[in-house]
Amino acid sequence: MSNLKHKILLLRGLVNGEFAHAGPMYVCVDITRRCNLRCTGCVSHGSGEKRYIPGDYSVMDIPLPLVKRLSRELQGMGTRMVSLSGEGEPLLHKQLFQIITAFKQAGMHVTLFTNGTLLSGETTTALFNSGLDILKVSLWGNSSEEYGSYHKGTEPSSFTEILESLSTISRLKGEMGIKNPGVFINHIIARNTYVNIGMKVDLAYKTGCNGVLFHPFASWGSETSAEELAPKQITELYADLVRVKGRMDSLSLDHNIGETLLKYRLGKSAWRVLVCSLATQPGIRPASGSTGPSCRAPDVTI
């Protein structure tokens, strides 16, 4: 009932357009500017021209006191979903697990985005103990060679190590009799990754993941425009996604193929009518048309 009331208040504010009657349904919190990879297409850490988000770069990580204050304020506004992502790799934040715990204690559903390279055994145990709800791992390519081509300077073995970590998490969840965190592979659809997308489904199934989430590559400049799909390739991809959807449904793997197909139909104007896919969770949808602010740590020094 409280969730319904929150949605009604949000709708009232959207209709009025002048005053917010409720806080955001979700927020995306950028917790660090540091990263251990140089991924193709990354605005902040890619191999080409950097396009930094404005802010105070003397502060690289969000301070834990700020997170605790933020969690209390969001709780008071009725926010129930938090997504931890941003410019850098969240697992590099030394107080990541305290951050997750702080949001969980405030009643939040917490999602963590990671490149997966730091998912060690000790880290996995800490993730379980923190109460994390969803773990999303970005995995470009379907082999060590493809992975290495998108992550310059990365050891080819990283691809295999990430898959082993995903398998370990799934195994431990089974042994412990727990469901969380739900684990999803994020597949970025680019010029060299749109073919053989069924192989990513195989990887998810073999490692015991809950599903695969597909995201069209969004170019941010001339250096990355070559990664976007041509119209003919989008047509080919569309047919492949329809086929893959049937297979994933038969394997009981979660996905966002319906949303992905809609994004391609709408083209580059999709962001105007769709809620941010970063915070969209399988089975949990923000109110239609709702928006939420992004709270970035580095702009505030405490």
CATH of the domain at 92: 3.20.20.70
pTM: predicted TM-score of the whole model, two decimal places: 0.81
Q: How far is CA 227 from CA 48, 198, 221, 246, in A?
A: 14, 20, 11, 27
Residue 36 has pLDDT above 60, yes or no: yes
19 occurs within a structural domain: no
Mean pLDDT of 145-154: 78
Residue 129 has pLDDT above 60, yes or no: yes
184 occurs within a structural domain: yes
- Token digits of residue 75: 């709780």
1 occurs within a structural domain: no
17 occurs within a structural domain: no
40 occurs within a structural domain: yes
Nearest alpha-carbon partner for 139 in 82, 199, 182, 219: 199
pLDDT of residue 285: 35
Residue 100 has pLDDT above 70, yes or no: yes
200 occurs within a structural domain: yes
pLDDT of residue 270: 52
Mean pLDDT of 177-192: 91
Residue 252 CB coordination number (10 Å): 9
pLDDT band at 2 (very low <50, low <70, confident <90, very high): low
Nearest alpha-carbon partner for 282 in 228, 212, 218: 212
Domain boundaries, position 78: 24-299
Q: What values do phi and psi take at 146, rounded to 5?
A: -65, -40
Within 190-257, strands assigned E span 211-216, 254-255
Domains held by the chain: number: 1
Distance CA 218, CA 229 (A): 10
Distance CA 185, CA 203 (A): 9
4 occurs within a structural domain: no
Q: Which 3 state secondary structure label does DSSP give 181? A: coil
215 occurs within a structural domain: yes
